[in-house]
Amino acid sequence: MIRKITIALASLVLVAGACLLGHSQTAPDSKQLEAVLNRMDQTAAKFRSSQADFVWDQYEKVVDDHDNQKGTIYFRQQSKGIEMAANITEPAKKYVLFTGSKAQVYEPKIDRVTVYNTGKNKSDFESLVVLGFGGRGHDLLKSFKVNYLGAEDAQGVKADKLDLVPKSEKLRNNLADHIVLWIDPARGISVQQQFFEISGNYRLAKYSNIQMNPRIPDDVFKLKTTANTTVVSPQG
């Protein structure tokens, strides 16, 4: 369950295929990669908050099915780390909140909150949640093998395309086999992300109407539950 919600958040926070994994990084690519990471570092130094509209496409290979969701996602920097909230509006209303070491999903239709305690996986969880939204570019090198894949049109910009392969086998097996980011070179933020699982499943996240350092009300990072809301905490 933690793996599924992590992929959903990271948007998040996905179809490049095996050829991406075998991409070789040439000297010019290394220079381009360094430029992209430096730009992300500059953005991270000034980062306080961000918000964007999103479209998430979750593909399940076994049943050859796409589950599409739309909504708005919010991030803000707090003393204890990054907080994230997602307001999913289609196809069904749902609210996702990541604060501290907990991820919570509220489903108004059934008036239920599902709480996932990230526990020992908190650092891995948070690193995926903030990919391309406030995280330092050079911090990626601590957890991932990063390759520069050139420039490609994505969400109306000529974006720099990065392929990230987790160094941790645990991370590859449980969260994402590899990740592709499309970084806007002008703003140093992600406009598109694709998370691949070993199973062949993937999630493609596309972002639009991106705002950097907007004033986000505190209540955005609170679940609007009722007096009758049930709370469940699945194990595993």
CATH of the domain at 57: 2.50.20.10
Judged against a pLDDT cut of 90, whether residue 28 lies above it is answered with no
pTM across the whole model:
0.81
H-helix or E-strand spanning residue 126: helix 122-129
pLDDT at res. 143: 85
| Cα-based angle 220, 126, 156 (whole degrees, multiple of 5) | 70
CA distance 150 to 5: 30
Does the pLDDT at position 84 exceed 80?
A: yes
Round the average pLDDT of the chain to a whole number and report it: 83
Task: Provide the pLDDT for residue 101.
Answer: 78
pLDDT 10s digits, 174-198:
778 899 999 999 999 999 999 999 8
How many domains does one find in the chain?
A: 1
Containing domain of residue 11, as a range?
Answer: 2-232
Q: Is the peptide bond before 214 cis (omega within 30 degrees of 0)?
A: no
Distance of alpha carbon 170 from alpha carbon 89, whole angstroms: 33
pLDDT tens column, 53-80 = 999 999 999 999 999 999 999 999 888 7
State mean pLDDT over 103-122.
87
Q: What is the pLDDT of residues 116-142, one digit of tens each?
A: 887 666 666 666 666 767 788 998 898
* pLDDT confidence tier of residue 6, bands split at 50, 70 and 90: very low
Among 192, 209, 181, residue whose Cα is nearest residue 56? 192
pLDDT-derived band at 16 (thresholds 50, 70, 90) equals very low
How far apart CA 130 and CA 154 sit, in angstroms, is 19
